[in-house]
Amino acid sequence: MNENVYNQIKEIKKYALDNKIPIMVDRGIDFLTRFIVDHQVENILEVGTAIGYSSIMMALSSPNVKITTIERDQERYMEAVKNIKKMGLEDRITLIFNDALDVEVDGTFDLIFLDAAKGQNIRFFEKFEKNLTEHGTIITDNMDFHGLVNQEEESMSRNLRGLIRKIKEYQEFLENNENYDVKFLTTGDGIAVAHRK
């Protein structure tokens, strides 16, 4: 990474930190970008752009990568547009401003990366599976949700408890899905890798 690119990434990370935007942690990004290189991934669909950080990192991992990414929050979407333009990646990253559950995406992708509302992952999975290539992979971030998934529930608010239950339901949904080989990694904030058989 040249110095200019490095500094821009640093700025994006700082903006995320200052504005409490939950971008992927370094270990998670390392895993994702290595996966892309190792599996020669070319087309990626991302659900949950935020300000474009993970899209940018994925695009930088290989010049062959093209990404379509969906964000429903206008302010974040606008920030992502700005960041992607600044990095000169607008030819390889297509942004969609919409709720992922309300939008139809054309084409197929060899990797689908789910990183949006953590309680909706079953719905995202079932909706976008039709956009996955035959032996493609669906990767999901935040399966451990900051370590809370395996914690005592009594100390949590009702909302949080509900969310944690949904993450566990999604975990079971993946485990019981016979069409996929599924691995749960403790890397970063917990990553699920579901590879279609």
Q: Which residues bind Mg ion (CB under 5 A)?
A: 24, 115, 141-142
- 118-123 LR contacts (CB < 8 Å, sep 24+): 118/142, 118/145, 118/163, 118/166, 118/167, 119/162, 119/163, 119/166, 119/167, 120/166, 121/166, 121/167, 121/170, 122/169, 122/170, 122/173
Footprint of ligand SAH on 41-80 (CB under 6 A): 48, 50, 53-54, 70-73, 76
- Taking alpha carbons only, the member of 127, 166, 134, 130 closest to residue 148 is 166
Q: Which is nearer to ligand SAH, 87 or 100 (CB)?
A: 100
* Among 84-92, 94-102, 153-161, 188-196, the segment contacting ligand SAH (CB under 6 A): 94-102
Rounded to the nearest whole angstrom, what is the least distance from the CB of residue 88 to Mg ion in the complex?
Answer: 25
Residues 119-158 that bind ligand SAH (CB under 6 A): 120
Q: What is the CA radius of gyration of the chain?
A: 16
Residue 99 contact partner, candidates ligand SAH, Mg ion, none, CB within 5 to 8 A by sort of partner: ligand SAH
- Give DSSP secondary structure letters for 97-160: ES-GGG----S-EEEEEE-S-GGGHHHHHHHHGGGEEEEEEEEES-SSTTTTTTS-STTS-HHH
Instruction: Note whether 163 binds ligand SAH by CB under 6 A.
Output: no
Of residues 96 and 149, the one with the C-beta less far from ligand SAH: 96
99-118 residues near ligand SAH, rule: CB under 6 A: 99-101, 115-117
Residue choice 24, 149, 167, 193 for contact with ligand SAH (CB under 6 A): 24
Residues that bind ligand SAH (CB under 6 A): 22-24, 48, 50, 53-54, 70-73, 76, 99-101, 115-117, 120
